Amino acid sequence: MEKQGVVSIWLGTFASTQLLDEYTFISYDEEDDIKAPFFQDFRIDLLDVDDDFMEKE
């Protein structure tokens, strides 16, 4: 759900930045289905996400 002027902040703990990158990496399979564990786990539609503004630390 998209709301004007709203930002979502997600917190978590990872053993390394590599694991964080793998969890949030967006890829596509042969049928052009999106494979991104973070987005699948939280049922986030990637059409609602502007990855240019996605930050992670």
Q: Spell out the SS3 assignment of 12-53.
A: CCCCCHHHHHHHHCCEECCCCCEECHHHHHCCCCHHHCCHHH
The three-state secondary structure class of 1 is: coil
Q: How confident is the model at residue 7 (pLDDT cuts 50, 70, 90)?
A: confident
The predicted-structure confidence for 24-57, as pLDDT tens digits, reads as follows 988 887 877 777 899 889 888 877 777 788 888 8
pTM for the whole structure: 0.70
Asked whether residue 23 carries a pLDDT value surpassing 90, the answer given is yes
Structure confidence at residue 1 as a pLDDT band (50, 70, 90): low
Q: What is the pLDDT of residue 14?
A: 95
The domain limits of the chain are 17-53
Question: Distance (Å, rounded) from C-alpha 6 to C-alpha 26?
Answer: 23
Query: What pLDDT is stored for residue 2 in this prediction?
Result: 66
Residues contacting residue 23 through CB under 8 Å, at least 6 positions apart: 14, 37, 38
